[in-house]
């Protein structure tokens, strides 16, 4: 039960804390405190002593430090949080709330202690407590192998205290305050820089959690090493690290790792940002411990007995959050967070990942897995799964659904086409690249076909896609054949499969928009035996036909 003496002392301390905060040390005397607390000066001196003792009591009982508490906790529970993680968390606490880490009263006391022996004694005791705690954490970092032999523990402790107190002192007046994320990254980078070259840390932090991280690092020798080293400094254990994308000056890395469970995502982010940019983090899974080749082989083995699992295996291979199989004419198109991949002529696979955009190599990996499932389907008796061999005048061509990895070959084919051929197809010679590169992956509604000649090069393209995004009735079709293979039946072979795929997708009408003077394309369409209605406007001919009027495949085959 609270006694009257205890209650009186609490009222005195509360009153003194408010007065010291408002008037500072020099502006407060015993008389003021007595008046504010509603007691006599005798009662103040009896329960708390003079001004110096009163100030010491206020500092002890009322002035707290979030950063000091975190460091003290790290000392009391040495195996719960990796030392550098504790330091980063404390540094973050100081930066986020400098006044909570170094109270204005304490900062004032530190400055007045230079001239006041009573205050000096009080502050020396408080600073000694902070010093001992920081020093103990530094010793833990060293014991774990995280501090180089050339770094002195006293110097590091002194630096940490000076940095935190100085930050609190100047924070209200700095012209430009950095972000907390940038501050944490710098703190981590300093910590990593103090680690020895080999950095073989001892791990005794109990339960670990799985994480996935994407990060851009400099495309220079040491860029990957610096990132791995930063994650190791907070006791992150790498399960797998590989490059998933690159461009001039940077490489995008994917890392699956485990870290001590008490280490929060914020600290992982700080460590990653200390060595790279554009960091994205997501919780991982136990199966991430398997290296990528093993994951691919396991997925392939699963496909042998269950080809229909391909979309779900593809989802695991690219760490997607969600998978959906949609009709080829429905669903979302490609975007940074969505991969739309052609699986069969009638079905596309949609992969979504909310925590990070997909890289080109991930698109290729998922597409290859779907292609493998098609090859297994062929072995099981599905002759359409891998495409079709079509007769032409000089032999045969191989036609199949396009894949992302066809991009280079398709680009090369366009480079071999004349400006006239490109103009007839696109009504421009410069707009084809963005259109076709997106469609190669199935990143749109519909399907794209590629035709290969006898030398294995791409010699033709065929597109089937809804006339409008919300139109599931009319399919627009378009064909491009490179110049030296025109007139050999390649376009007819592509058109044969386009019309069949349009039927399989559920379209009932086909539409072709061609230049009015593109006689070759118009004649090829007319030879299908479909009943076309043609509208000419502004030099373009829009040709429409009902797919069910006749058997276009039979008519095309009859005309070779």
Task: Summarize pLDDT for 67-80 with one digit per residue, the tens.
Answer: 666 666 655 655 56
Classified by CATH at the fold level, domain 388-558 comes out as Aminopeptidase (3.40.630)
Class of the domain covering 66-193: mainly alpha
From CA 412, how far away is CA 409, in angstroms rounded?
5
Distance between start and end Cα atoms, the chain: 103
pLDDT in tens, 347-371: 888 999 988 888 888 888 898 888 8
> Would you state the torsion angle of the CA atoms of residues 543, 545, 550, 556, taken in this order, to the nearest 10 degrees?
30
Asked if residues 214 and 253 have their Cβ atoms less than 8 Å apart, the reply is yes
Q: Is 160 exposed, middle or buried (0-12, 13-18, 19+ CB in 10 A)?
A: buried
Domain limits, the chain: 4-47, 66-193, 208-285, 292-379, 388-558
H or E segment at 391?
strand 388-392
- Give the pLDDT of residue 480: 93
The beta strands (E) that lie in 179-297 are given as 208-218, 237-247, 250-260, 277-283
CATH topology for the 4-47 domain: Arc Repressor Mutant, subunit A (1.10.10)
> Are the C-beta atoms of 460 and 485 separated by less than 8 Å?
yes
**CA torsion sign, 50 to 53 to 57 to 63?**
positive
- pTM of the model as a whole: 0.63
**CA–CA distances in Å: residue 369 to residues 303, 382, 387:** 9, 17, 16
Distance (Å, whole) CA 51 – CA 74 = 34
Cα 163 from Cα 101, distance rounded (Å):
12
* Range name among 3-12, 318-327, 403-412 with the lowest pLDDT average: 3-12
Query: Mean pLDDT of all residues in the chain?
Result: 82
Contact 413, 448 (CB under 8 A): no
Q: Which two tokens stand for residue 380?
A: 């099981």
Look up the CATH number of domain 208-285: 3.30.70.260
Identify the burial level of 458 via C-beta atoms within 10 angstroms of its C-beta, where 0-12 means exposed, 13-18 middle and 19 or more buried: buried
C-beta atoms surrounding 150 within 10 Å: 7
Residue 240 CB-density burial (10 A; 0-12 exposed, 13-18 middle, 19+ buried): middle
pLDDT mean over 378-399: 79
In this predicted structure, what is the pLDDT of residue 558?
Answer: 47
Cβ 57 vs Cβ 11: under 8 Å: no
Q: Do 134 and 157 form a contact (C-beta atoms < 8 A)? A: yes
pLDDT score for 2: 47
pLDDT of residue 501 exceeding 60 = yes
């Amino acid at each position: 039960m609270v006694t009257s003496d205890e209650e009186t002392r609490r009222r005195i301390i509360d009153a003194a804390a408010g007065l010291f905060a408002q008037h500072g040390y020099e502006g407060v005397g015993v008389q003021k405190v007595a008046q504010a607390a509603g007691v006599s000066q005798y009662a103040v001196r009896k329960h708390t002593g003079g001004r110096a003792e009163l100030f010491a009591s206020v500092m002890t009982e009322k002035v707290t430090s979030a950063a000091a508490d975190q460091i003290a906790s790290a000392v009391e529970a040495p195996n719960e949080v990796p030392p550098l993680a504790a330091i980063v968390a404390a540094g973050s606490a100081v930066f986020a709330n400098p006044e909570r880490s170094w109270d204005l009263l304490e900062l004032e006391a530190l400055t007045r202690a230079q001239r006041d022996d009573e205050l000096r004694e009080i502050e020396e005791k408080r600073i000694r407590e902070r010093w001992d705690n920081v020093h103990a954490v530094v010793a833990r970092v060293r014991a774990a192998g995280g501090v180089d032999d050339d770094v002195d523990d006293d110097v590091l402790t002194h630096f940490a205290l000076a940095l935190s107190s100085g930050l609190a002192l100047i924070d209200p007046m700095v012209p430009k305050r950095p972000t907390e994320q940038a501050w944490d990254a710098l703190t981590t980078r300093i910590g990593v820089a103090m680690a020895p070259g080999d950095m073989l840390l001892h791990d005794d932090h109990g339960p670990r959690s799985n994480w996935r991280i994407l990060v851009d690092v400099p495309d220079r020798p040491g860029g990957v090493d610096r990132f791995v080293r930063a994650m190791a400094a907070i006791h992150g254990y790498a399960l797998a690290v590989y490059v998933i994308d690159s461009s001039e000056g940077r490489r995008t890395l994917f890392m699956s790792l485990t870290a001590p469970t008490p280490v929060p995502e914020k600290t992982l982010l700080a460590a990653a940002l200390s060595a790279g940019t554009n960091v994205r983090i997501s919780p991982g899974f136990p199966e991430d411990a398997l290296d990528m080749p093993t994951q691919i082989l396991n997925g392939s083995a699963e496909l042998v007995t269950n080809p229909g699992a391909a979309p779900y295996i593809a989802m695991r291979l690219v760490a997607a959050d969600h998978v959906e199989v949609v009709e080829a004419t429905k669903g979302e198109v490609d975007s940074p967070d969505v991969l739309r991949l052609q699986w069969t002529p009638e079905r596309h696979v949609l992969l979504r990942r909310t925590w990070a955009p997909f890289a080109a190599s991930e698109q290729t990996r998922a597409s290859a897995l779907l292609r493998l499932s098609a090859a297994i389907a062929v072995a099981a008796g599905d002759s359409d799964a891998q495409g079709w061999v079509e007769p032409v005048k000089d032999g045969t061509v191989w036609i199949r659904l396009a894949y992302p990895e066809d991009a280079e070959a398709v680009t090369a084919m366009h480079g071999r086409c004349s400006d006239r051929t490109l103009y007839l197809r696109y009504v421009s010679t410069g707009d084809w690249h963005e259109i076709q590169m997106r469609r190669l992956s199935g990143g749109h509604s519909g399907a794209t076909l590629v035709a290969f000649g006898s030398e294995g090069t791409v010699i033709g393209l065929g597109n089937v896609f809804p006339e409008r995004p919300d139109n599931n009735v009319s399919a627009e079709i378009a064909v491009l054949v490179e110049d030296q293979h025109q007139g050999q039946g390649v376009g007819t072979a592509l058109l044969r499969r386009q019309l069949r795929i349009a039927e399989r997708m559920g379209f009932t009408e086909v539409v072709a928009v061609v230049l009015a003077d593109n006689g070759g394309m118009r004649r090829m369409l007319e030879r299908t035996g479909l009943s076309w209605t043609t509208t000419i406007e502004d030099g373009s001919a829009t040709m429409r036909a009902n797919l069910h009027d006749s058997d276009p495949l039979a008519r095309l085959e009859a005309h070779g």
